[in-house]
Structure 1
Protein backbone atom coordinates (compact mmCIF):
# COMPACT_ATOMS: atom_id res chain seq x y z
CA UNK A 1 0.00 0.00 0.00
CA UNK A 2 1.12 3.56 -0.80
CA UNK A 3 0.04 6.26 1.67
CA UNK A 4 0.30 10.06 1.59
CA UNK A 5 -0.28 11.84 4.90
CA UNK A 6 -1.45 15.44 5.12
CA UNK A 7 -1.35 15.48 8.94
CA UNK A 8 1.84 15.54 11.03
CA UNK A 9 0.29 13.46 13.81
CA UNK A 10 -0.84 10.77 11.39
CA UNK A 11 2.48 10.82 9.55
CA UNK A 12 4.24 10.04 12.81
CA UNK A 13 1.69 7.35 13.63
CA UNK A 14 2.11 5.54 10.31
CA UNK A 15 5.91 5.94 10.41
CA UNK A 16 6.01 4.39 13.89
CA UNK A 17 3.98 1.42 12.71
CA UNK A 18 4.87 0.72 9.07
CA UNK A 19 7.19 3.40 7.66
CA UNK A 20 7.42 1.65 4.30
CA UNK A 21 3.84 2.67 3.53
CA UNK A 22 4.54 6.40 3.47
CA UNK A 23 5.39 7.82 0.05
CA UNK A 24 4.42 11.45 0.73
CA UNK A 25 4.09 13.82 3.67
CA UNK A 26 3.79 17.56 4.27
CA UNK A 27 6.60 19.96 5.02
CA UNK A 28 5.20 20.21 8.55
CA UNK A 29 5.64 16.48 9.19
CA UNK A 30 8.75 16.83 11.35
CA UNK A 31 8.58 13.50 13.20
CA UNK A 32 10.26 11.13 12.94
CA UNK A 33 13.47 12.88 11.96
CA UNK A 34 14.87 11.74 8.63
CA UNK A 35 11.52 10.57 7.29
CA UNK A 36 11.99 9.12 3.80
CA UNK A 37 8.95 10.53 2.00
CA UNK A 38 8.38 13.04 -0.78
CA UNK A 39 7.36 16.45 0.59
CA UNK A 40 4.14 17.57 -1.05
CA UNK A 41 3.58 21.08 0.33
CA UNK A 42 1.87 22.16 3.51
CA UNK A 43 -1.25 21.07 5.35
CA UNK A 44 -3.21 24.05 4.01
CA UNK A 45 -1.63 24.14 0.55
CA UNK A 46 -0.74 20.62 -0.57
CA UNK A 47 0.54 20.14 -4.11
CA UNK A 48 -2.32 18.11 -5.57
CA UNK A 49 -0.53 17.26 -8.87
CA UNK A 50 2.53 16.08 -6.91
CA UNK A 51 0.34 13.88 -4.73
CA UNK A 52 -1.42 12.45 -7.77
CA UNK A 53 1.94 11.69 -9.39
CA UNK A 54 2.85 9.53 -6.39
CA UNK A 55 -0.14 7.27 -7.20
CA UNK A 56 -1.14 6.69 -3.57
CA UNK A 57 -3.72 4.11 -2.61
CA UNK A 58 -4.79 6.34 0.28
CA UNK A 59 -4.45 9.93 1.43
CA UNK A 60 -5.05 10.50 5.14
CA UNK A 61 -6.30 13.92 6.23
CA UNK A 62 -8.03 15.75 9.06
CA UNK A 63 -11.13 17.93 8.99
CA UNK A 64 -9.44 20.72 10.93
CA UNK A 65 -5.93 20.70 9.48
CA UNK A 66 -6.77 20.29 5.79
CA UNK A 67 -9.00 22.24 3.38
CA UNK A 68 -11.99 20.64 1.73
CA UNK A 69 -11.20 22.03 -1.78
CA UNK A 70 -7.86 20.19 -1.76
CA UNK A 71 -9.49 16.95 -0.60
CA UNK A 72 -12.20 17.30 -3.24
CA UNK A 73 -9.52 17.74 -5.92
CA UNK A 74 -7.77 14.57 -4.76
CA UNK A 75 -11.01 12.61 -4.87
CA UNK A 76 -11.71 13.99 -8.35
CA UNK A 77 -8.35 12.56 -9.39
CA UNK A 78 -9.57 9.13 -8.32
CA UNK A 79 -7.66 8.95 -5.02
CA UNK A 80 -9.23 7.57 -1.86
CA UNK A 81 -9.17 10.15 0.94
CA UNK A 82 -9.79 9.28 4.58
CA UNK A 83 -10.70 12.31 6.70
CA UNK A 84 -10.32 12.05 10.46
CA UNK A 85 -11.95 14.12 13.20
CA UNK A 86 -10.10 14.42 16.51
CA UNK A 87 -11.54 16.71 19.16
CA UNK A 88 -11.25 14.45 22.21
CA UNK A 89 -8.78 11.89 23.51
CA UNK A 90 -11.28 9.10 22.86
CA UNK A 91 -11.61 10.23 19.25
CA UNK A 92 -7.83 10.26 18.90
CA UNK A 93 -7.60 6.59 19.84
CA UNK A 94 -10.55 5.51 17.72
CA UNK A 95 -9.34 7.45 14.67
CA UNK A 96 -5.81 6.10 14.99
CA UNK A 97 -7.23 2.58 15.01
CA UNK A 98 -9.39 3.43 11.98
CA UNK A 99 -6.40 4.72 10.02
CA UNK A 100 -3.83 2.12 10.98
CA UNK A 101 -5.86 -1.06 11.40
CA UNK A 102 -8.94 -0.64 9.22
CA UNK A 103 -7.65 1.59 6.41
CA UNK A 104 -4.01 0.48 6.21
CA UNK A 105 -4.60 -3.14 7.23
CA UNK A 106 -1.94 -3.14 9.95
CA UNK A 107 -1.90 -4.95 13.25
CA UNK A 108 -2.79 -2.73 16.19
CA UNK A 109 0.56 -1.23 17.20
CA UNK A 110 2.01 -1.75 20.64
CA UNK A 111 2.62 1.99 21.06
CA UNK A 112 -1.11 2.66 20.76
CA UNK A 113 -1.84 0.33 23.68
CA UNK A 114 0.98 1.91 25.68
CA UNK A 115 -0.51 5.32 25.04
CA UNK A 116 -3.91 4.11 26.16
CA UNK A 117 -2.45 2.78 29.39
CA UNK A 118 -0.67 6.08 30.00
CA UNK A 119 -3.94 8.01 29.76
CA UNK A 120 -6.58 5.67 31.12
CA UNK A 121 -4.51 4.81 34.21
CA UNK A 122 -3.95 8.43 35.19
CA UNK A 123 -4.69 9.23 38.84
CA UNK A 124 -7.42 11.72 39.54
CA UNK A 125 -6.14 15.22 38.70
CA UNK A 126 -5.53 17.80 41.41
CA UNK A 127 -8.02 20.57 41.99
CA UNK A 128 -8.42 22.26 38.64
CA UNK A 129 -6.41 25.35 37.81
CA UNK A 130 -8.37 27.92 35.81
CA UNK A 131 -6.29 28.74 32.76
CA UNK A 132 -6.12 30.59 29.49
CA UNK A 133 -4.29 28.79 26.68
CA UNK A 134 -2.94 31.11 23.99
CA UNK A 135 -1.98 29.52 20.69
CA UNK A 136 -1.05 32.72 18.81
CA UNK A 137 -0.22 36.36 19.34
CA UNK A 138 -0.53 39.33 16.98
CA UNK A 139 -3.46 38.83 17.30
CA UNK A 140 -3.89 36.89 20.51
CA UNK A 141 -5.84 33.67 19.98
CA UNK A 142 -6.69 31.03 22.59
CA UNK A 143 -8.18 27.58 22.84
CA UNK A 144 -11.96 27.81 22.88
CA UNK A 145 -14.60 25.11 22.74
CA UNK A 146 -14.38 21.56 21.49
CA UNK A 147 -10.63 21.11 20.99
CA UNK A 148 -8.38 18.09 21.41
CA UNK A 149 -5.82 20.12 23.35
CA UNK A 150 -8.52 21.41 25.68
CA UNK A 151 -9.67 17.85 26.41
CA UNK A 152 -6.07 16.78 27.08
CA UNK A 153 -5.56 19.62 29.55
CA UNK A 154 -8.85 18.91 31.34
CA UNK A 155 -7.61 15.42 32.16
CA UNK A 156 -4.52 16.95 33.74
CA UNK A 157 -6.43 19.31 36.00
CA UNK A 158 -6.58 22.42 33.81
CA UNK A 159 -9.92 24.17 33.33
CA UNK A 160 -9.90 26.21 30.12
CA UNK A 161 -11.66 29.48 30.86
CA UNK A 162 -12.74 29.80 27.22
CA UNK A 163 -14.05 26.26 26.79
CA UNK A 164 -17.57 27.66 26.55
CA UNK A 165 -16.78 30.25 23.90
CA UNK A 166 -18.77 30.14 20.67
CA UNK A 167 -15.55 29.85 18.64
CA UNK A 168 -13.03 27.04 18.76
CA UNK A 169 -10.08 29.43 18.52
CA UNK A 170 -11.35 32.87 19.54
CA UNK A 171 -9.39 36.07 19.18
CA UNK A 172 -9.26 37.72 22.59
CA UNK A 173 -7.24 40.86 23.45
CA UNK A 174 -4.55 40.19 26.01
CA UNK A 175 -6.10 42.69 28.44
CA UNK A 176 -9.29 40.61 28.40
CA UNK A 177 -7.31 37.44 28.98
CA UNK A 178 -5.73 38.95 32.07
CA UNK A 179 -9.09 40.32 33.23
CA UNK A 180 -10.53 36.78 33.13
CA UNK A 181 -8.42 36.19 36.26
CA UNK A 182 -6.89 32.82 35.40
CA UNK A 183 -4.79 30.93 37.92
CA UNK A 184 -2.41 29.88 35.17
CA UNK A 185 -1.37 30.67 31.60
CA UNK A 186 -0.50 27.64 29.44
CA UNK A 187 1.85 28.51 26.57
CA UNK A 188 2.64 25.77 24.03
CA UNK A 189 5.54 26.02 21.59
CA UNK A 190 3.31 25.46 18.56
CA UNK A 191 1.68 26.67 16.43
CA UNK A 192 3.14 29.89 17.85
CA UNK A 193 6.53 29.30 19.42
CA UNK A 194 6.03 30.74 22.90
CA UNK A 195 9.23 30.85 24.94
CA UNK A 196 10.31 32.11 28.34
CA UNK A 197 11.05 35.48 26.70
CA UNK A 198 8.04 35.59 24.39
CA UNK A 199 4.67 35.15 26.09
CA UNK A 200 4.92 35.16 29.90
CA UNK A 201 5.76 38.89 29.96
CA UNK A 202 2.27 39.62 28.63
CA UNK A 203 0.73 38.17 31.82
CA UNK A 204 2.51 39.92 34.70
CA UNK A 205 1.95 38.31 38.06
CA UNK A 206 0.50 35.09 36.62
CA UNK A 207 2.35 31.77 36.61
CA UNK A 208 3.04 30.47 33.12
CA UNK A 209 3.47 26.85 32.03
CA UNK A 210 5.61 26.52 28.89
CA UNK A 211 4.59 23.18 27.40
CA UNK A 212 5.44 21.00 24.43
CA UNK A 213 3.01 21.71 21.61
CA UNK A 214 3.65 18.29 20.13
CA UNK A 215 2.61 16.58 23.34
CA UNK A 216 -0.40 18.87 23.71
CA UNK A 217 -1.80 18.81 20.17
CA UNK A 218 -0.41 15.76 18.35
CA UNK A 219 -2.28 12.45 18.44
CA UNK A 220 0.27 9.77 17.62
CA UNK A 221 3.12 8.02 19.44
CA UNK A 222 3.68 11.18 21.49
CA UNK A 223 0.46 10.32 23.34
CA UNK A 224 2.38 7.74 25.37
CA UNK A 225 4.69 10.40 26.80
CA UNK A 226 2.24 13.26 26.94
CA UNK A 227 0.76 12.76 30.43
CA UNK A 228 4.20 12.71 32.05
CA UNK A 229 5.69 15.51 29.94
CA UNK A 230 2.73 17.86 30.23
CA UNK A 231 2.06 16.95 33.85
CA UNK A 232 5.61 17.86 34.87
CA UNK A 233 5.41 21.24 33.13
CA UNK A 234 2.07 22.04 34.73
CA UNK A 235 3.17 21.01 38.21
CA UNK A 236 6.28 23.18 37.93
CA UNK A 237 4.18 26.22 37.04
CA UNK A 238 1.23 25.86 39.39
CA UNK A 239 1.24 28.26 42.32
Structure 2
Protein backbone atom coordinates (compact mmCIF):
# COMPACT_ATOMS: atom_id res chain seq x y z
CA UNK A 1 0.00 0.00 0.00
CA UNK A 2 1.14 3.60 -0.64
CA UNK A 3 2.80 5.49 2.20
CA UNK A 4 1.91 9.10 2.98
CA UNK A 5 3.10 11.74 5.45
CA UNK A 6 0.49 13.61 7.49
CA UNK A 7 0.84 17.18 8.79
CA UNK A 8 2.51 16.01 11.98
CA UNK A 9 5.18 14.25 9.94
CA UNK A 10 3.78 10.80 10.77
CA UNK A 11 4.07 8.01 8.21
CA UNK A 12 0.64 6.60 7.33
CA UNK A 13 0.11 3.55 5.13
CA UNK A 14 -3.19 3.78 3.22
CA UNK A 15 -5.06 2.14 0.36
CA UNK A 16 -4.55 3.91 -2.96
CA UNK A 17 -8.24 4.89 -2.94
CA UNK A 18 -9.87 4.58 0.52
CA UNK A 19 -13.43 3.29 0.35
CA UNK A 20 -14.42 3.63 4.00
CA UNK A 21 -13.51 7.00 5.52
CA UNK A 22 -14.32 8.40 8.96
CA UNK A 23 -13.88 12.15 9.44
CA UNK A 24 -13.44 13.48 12.97
CA UNK A 25 -13.11 17.11 11.82
CA UNK A 26 -16.19 19.17 10.80
CA UNK A 27 -14.41 21.49 8.36
CA UNK A 28 -12.67 18.53 6.71
CA UNK A 29 -15.96 16.66 6.44
CA UNK A 30 -17.27 19.55 4.34
CA UNK A 31 -14.06 19.40 2.31
CA UNK A 32 -14.56 15.68 1.60
CA UNK A 33 -18.02 16.49 0.31
CA UNK A 34 -16.59 19.10 -2.06
CA UNK A 35 -14.01 16.57 -3.22
CA UNK A 36 -16.95 14.35 -4.25
CA UNK A 37 -16.35 11.55 -1.76
CA UNK A 38 -19.97 10.88 -0.87
CA UNK A 39 -19.78 7.12 -1.31
CA UNK A 40 -16.48 6.73 0.52
CA UNK A 41 -17.30 8.71 3.70
CA UNK A 42 -19.02 6.36 6.14
CA UNK A 43 -18.75 8.17 9.48
CA UNK A 44 -18.74 11.77 10.75
CA UNK A 45 -19.06 13.53 14.12
CA UNK A 46 -22.20 15.11 15.53
CA UNK A 47 -20.61 18.51 14.87
CA UNK A 48 -20.16 17.83 11.14
CA UNK A 49 -23.20 19.91 10.21
CA UNK A 50 -22.19 20.61 6.59
CA UNK A 51 -23.44 19.38 4.23
CA UNK A 52 -26.86 18.99 5.80
CA UNK A 53 -27.58 15.82 3.80
CA UNK A 54 -24.53 14.13 5.34
CA UNK A 55 -25.41 15.41 8.81
CA UNK A 56 -28.85 13.81 8.48
CA UNK A 57 -27.86 10.53 6.87
CA UNK A 58 -24.22 9.62 7.62
CA UNK A 59 -23.36 7.48 10.66
CA UNK A 60 -22.29 9.65 13.61
CA UNK A 61 -19.28 8.53 15.62
CA UNK A 62 -19.70 10.82 18.64
CA UNK A 63 -18.19 14.27 19.15
CA UNK A 64 -14.82 15.64 18.17
CA UNK A 65 -13.55 15.19 21.73
CA UNK A 66 -15.74 12.24 22.73
CA UNK A 67 -15.33 9.66 19.98
CA UNK A 68 -17.52 6.56 20.07
CA UNK A 69 -14.95 3.90 19.23
CA UNK A 70 -17.58 1.15 19.20
CA UNK A 71 -19.29 2.75 16.21
CA UNK A 72 -15.95 3.21 14.46
CA UNK A 73 -15.11 -0.47 14.98
CA UNK A 74 -18.44 -1.33 13.37
CA UNK A 75 -17.53 0.78 10.33
CA UNK A 76 -14.02 -0.73 10.03
CA UNK A 77 -12.62 2.28 8.16
CA UNK A 78 -9.57 2.12 5.94
CA UNK A 79 -8.91 5.83 6.65
CA UNK A 80 -9.63 8.06 9.65
CA UNK A 81 -8.96 11.80 9.32
CA UNK A 82 -8.29 13.65 12.58
CA UNK A 83 -6.88 17.00 13.70
CA UNK A 84 -4.19 17.77 16.26
CA UNK A 85 -6.24 20.50 17.96
CA UNK A 86 -9.84 19.39 17.54
CA UNK A 87 -9.44 15.78 18.65
CA UNK A 88 -8.10 14.26 21.87
CA UNK A 89 -4.61 12.80 21.38
CA UNK A 90 -5.24 9.74 23.56
CA UNK A 91 -8.35 8.81 21.60
CA UNK A 92 -6.62 9.30 18.26
CA UNK A 93 -3.60 7.27 19.39
CA UNK A 94 -5.89 4.40 20.39
CA UNK A 95 -7.65 4.45 17.02
CA UNK A 96 -4.26 4.46 15.27
CA UNK A 97 -3.55 1.06 16.81
CA UNK A 98 -6.34 -0.38 14.67
CA UNK A 99 -6.73 1.85 11.60
CA UNK A 100 -4.74 4.22 9.40
CA UNK A 101 -5.13 7.72 10.92
CA UNK A 102 -4.08 10.81 8.97
CA UNK A 103 -3.72 13.87 11.26
CA UNK A 104 -4.02 17.46 10.09
CA UNK A 105 -2.43 20.47 11.80
CA UNK A 106 -3.69 23.79 10.45
CA UNK A 107 -2.61 27.15 11.91
CA UNK A 108 -2.77 29.45 8.87
CA UNK A 109 -3.92 29.62 5.26
CA UNK A 110 -0.73 28.01 3.95
CA UNK A 111 -1.30 25.01 6.23
CA UNK A 112 -4.92 24.82 5.09
CA UNK A 113 -4.02 24.72 1.40
CA UNK A 114 -1.36 22.10 2.11
CA UNK A 115 -3.96 20.05 3.98
CA UNK A 116 -6.39 20.23 1.05
CA UNK A 117 -3.66 19.15 -1.36
CA UNK A 118 -2.60 16.22 0.82
CA UNK A 119 -6.15 15.04 1.44
CA UNK A 120 -6.74 15.17 -2.30
CA UNK A 121 -3.70 12.92 -2.67
CA UNK A 122 -4.64 10.35 -0.02
CA UNK A 123 -8.26 10.10 -1.25
CA UNK A 124 -7.41 9.90 -4.95
CA UNK A 125 -8.97 13.31 -5.64
CA UNK A 126 -5.85 15.23 -6.70
CA UNK A 127 -7.45 17.15 -9.59
CA UNK A 128 -10.45 18.15 -7.47
CA UNK A 129 -8.13 19.40 -4.73
CA UNK A 130 -5.91 21.38 -7.12
CA UNK A 131 -8.96 23.05 -8.64
CA UNK A 132 -10.32 23.93 -5.19
CA UNK A 133 -6.98 25.39 -4.08
CA UNK A 134 -6.89 27.55 -7.21
CA UNK A 135 -10.39 28.85 -6.47
CA UNK A 136 -9.49 29.65 -2.86
CA UNK A 137 -6.31 31.48 -3.89
CA UNK A 138 -8.31 33.55 -6.38
CA UNK A 139 -10.90 34.39 -3.71
CA UNK A 140 -8.23 35.58 -1.25
CA UNK A 141 -6.51 37.61 -3.96
CA UNK A 142 -9.69 39.66 -4.25
CA UNK A 143 -9.81 40.36 -0.49
CA UNK A 144 -9.00 43.99 0.26
CA UNK A 145 -7.69 44.37 3.84
CA UNK A 146 -9.11 47.08 6.06
CA UNK A 147 -7.43 50.31 4.99
CA UNK A 148 -6.85 51.71 8.50
CA UNK A 149 -5.33 49.31 11.01
CA UNK A 150 -7.71 48.68 13.88
CA UNK A 151 -6.95 47.00 17.19
CA UNK A 152 -9.22 43.99 17.35
CA UNK A 153 -10.07 41.10 19.63
CA UNK A 154 -11.90 37.90 18.73
CA UNK A 155 -13.82 36.18 21.52
CA UNK A 156 -14.44 32.43 21.34
CA UNK A 157 -15.72 31.74 24.88
CA UNK A 158 -17.53 33.27 27.84
CA UNK A 159 -17.11 32.54 31.56
CA UNK A 160 -14.23 33.00 31.31
CA UNK A 161 -13.80 35.14 28.24
CA UNK A 162 -11.28 33.51 25.93
CA UNK A 163 -9.60 34.87 22.83
CA UNK A 164 -7.03 33.76 20.25
CA UNK A 165 -3.25 34.03 20.12
CA UNK A 166 -0.73 34.44 17.32
CA UNK A 167 -0.39 30.73 16.52
CA UNK A 168 -4.03 30.14 15.57
CA UNK A 169 -5.82 29.93 12.24
CA UNK A 170 -8.22 32.68 13.33
CA UNK A 171 -5.31 35.05 14.00
CA UNK A 172 -4.12 34.52 10.42
CA UNK A 173 -7.60 35.31 9.09
CA UNK A 174 -7.75 38.52 11.16
CA UNK A 175 -4.37 39.56 9.77
CA UNK A 176 -5.57 39.00 6.21
CA UNK A 177 -8.49 41.30 6.99
CA UNK A 178 -6.04 44.01 8.03
CA UNK A 179 -6.99 43.76 11.71
CA UNK A 180 -4.42 43.80 14.51
CA UNK A 181 -5.05 41.14 17.14
CA UNK A 182 -4.37 42.88 20.47
CA UNK A 183 -3.56 39.48 21.94
CA UNK A 184 -1.16 38.65 19.14
CA UNK A 185 1.64 38.42 21.69
CA UNK A 186 -0.03 35.38 23.29
CA UNK A 187 -0.39 31.78 22.12
CA UNK A 188 -3.37 29.50 21.56
CA UNK A 189 -6.51 30.48 23.51
CA UNK A 190 -5.82 32.63 26.60
CA UNK A 191 -8.47 33.51 29.17
CA UNK A 192 -8.84 37.27 29.64
CA UNK A 193 -10.68 39.85 31.76
CA UNK A 194 -12.82 42.67 30.39
CA UNK A 195 -10.34 45.33 31.57
CA UNK A 196 -7.79 43.90 29.14
CA UNK A 197 -10.05 44.92 26.25
CA UNK A 198 -9.73 48.66 26.93
CA UNK A 199 -7.38 49.17 23.96
CA UNK A 200 -9.71 47.29 21.63
CA UNK A 201 -11.33 49.31 18.82
CA UNK A 202 -13.23 46.35 17.43
CA UNK A 203 -14.53 43.34 19.33
CA UNK A 204 -15.66 40.32 17.31
CA UNK A 205 -17.90 37.84 19.13
CA UNK A 206 -17.99 34.45 17.46
CA UNK A 207 -20.93 32.14 16.88
CA UNK A 208 -18.80 29.15 17.91
CA UNK A 209 -17.66 27.37 19.99
CA UNK A 210 -19.61 29.64 22.35
CA UNK A 211 -22.71 31.02 20.60
CA UNK A 212 -22.45 34.73 21.39
CA UNK A 213 -25.65 36.74 20.92
CA UNK A 214 -26.73 40.37 21.07
CA UNK A 215 -27.44 40.05 24.80
CA UNK A 216 -23.74 39.38 25.38
CA UNK A 217 -22.86 42.58 23.55
CA UNK A 218 -25.25 44.44 25.86
CA UNK A 219 -23.43 42.91 28.86
CA UNK A 220 -20.10 44.24 27.64
CA UNK A 221 -21.19 47.73 26.58
CA UNK A 222 -20.90 49.30 30.06
CA UNK A 223 -17.31 48.07 30.29
CA UNK A 224 -16.36 49.03 26.71
CA UNK A 225 -18.35 52.15 25.77
CA UNK A 226 -15.95 53.16 22.98
CA UNK A 227 -15.53 49.73 21.41
CA UNK A 228 -17.45 48.64 18.33
CA UNK A 229 -18.82 45.11 18.87
CA UNK A 230 -19.98 42.77 16.13
CA UNK A 231 -21.37 39.22 16.07
CA UNK A 232 -19.50 37.14 13.48
CA UNK A 233 -19.86 33.74 11.84
CA UNK A 234 -17.30 31.50 13.53
CA UNK A 235 -17.27 29.05 10.65
CA UNK A 236 -15.93 31.75 8.36
CA UNK A 237 -12.99 32.40 10.67
CA UNK A 238 -12.15 28.91 11.90
CA UNK A 239 -13.23 26.36 9.27
CA UNK A 240 -10.15 25.68 7.13
CA UNK A 241 -11.54 23.39 4.45
CA UNK A 242 -13.66 24.27 1.43
CA UNK A 243 -15.46 26.91 3.54
CA UNK A 244 -12.45 29.06 2.61
CA UNK A 245 -14.05 29.54 -0.80
CA UNK A 246 -16.65 31.81 0.82
CA UNK A 247 -14.60 33.40 3.60
CA UNK A 248 -13.06 36.32 1.63
CA UNK A 249 -16.46 37.55 0.44
CA UNK A 250 -17.73 37.33 4.01
CA UNK A 251 -14.73 39.28 5.29
CA UNK A 252 -15.24 41.95 2.63
CA UNK A 253 -18.86 42.41 3.67
CA UNK A 254 -17.87 42.52 7.36
CA UNK A 255 -15.14 45.10 6.79
CA UNK A 256 -17.53 47.29 4.81
CA UNK A 257 -20.06 47.14 7.66
CA UNK A 258 -17.53 48.36 10.25
CA UNK A 259 -15.92 51.04 8.09
The TM-score, its normalising length taken from structure 1, stands at: 0.92
- What corresponds to 1:92 in structure 2? 112
Q: Aligned pair 1:52/2:70, yes or no? A: no
Could you list the structure 1 runs, at least 4 aligned residues long, displaced by more than 4 angstroms after superposition. none
Question: Can you list the C-alpha shifts for 1:52-84, whole angstroms capped at 9, x where unaligned?
Answer: 22011100011000111111111112x000000
What is the aligned residue count?
Answer: 233
RMSD after superposition: 1.5
Q: Aligned pair 1:64/2:85, yes or no? A: yes
Residue 123 of structure 1, CA deviation: 3.7
Question: Can you list the C-alpha shifts for 1:151-201, whole angstroms capped at 9, x where unaligned?
Answer: 011001111010111x31000011222x3x111101111111112222354
Which of 179, 202, 217 is the matching residue for 1:158?
A: 179
- What corresponds to 2:192 in structure 1? 172
2-structure distance, mates of 1:87, 1:27: 23
Q: Is the 8 A contact 1:187 1:211 kept in 2?
A: yes
- Where do 1:203-222 residues align within 5 Å? 203-222=224-243
Residue 125 of structure 1, CA deviation: 4.2
Unaligned runs of 5+ in 2: 1-18
Q: Is the 8 A contact 2:201 2:226 kept in 1?
A: no
Question: Can you list the C-alpha shifts for 1:214-238, whole angstroms capped at 9, x where unaligned?
Answer: 1110012211110111221233124
Q: Is the 8 A contact 1:145 1:169 kept in 2?
A: no
- What corresponds to 2:169 in structure 1? 148
The TM-score, its normalising length taken from structure 2, stands at: 0.85
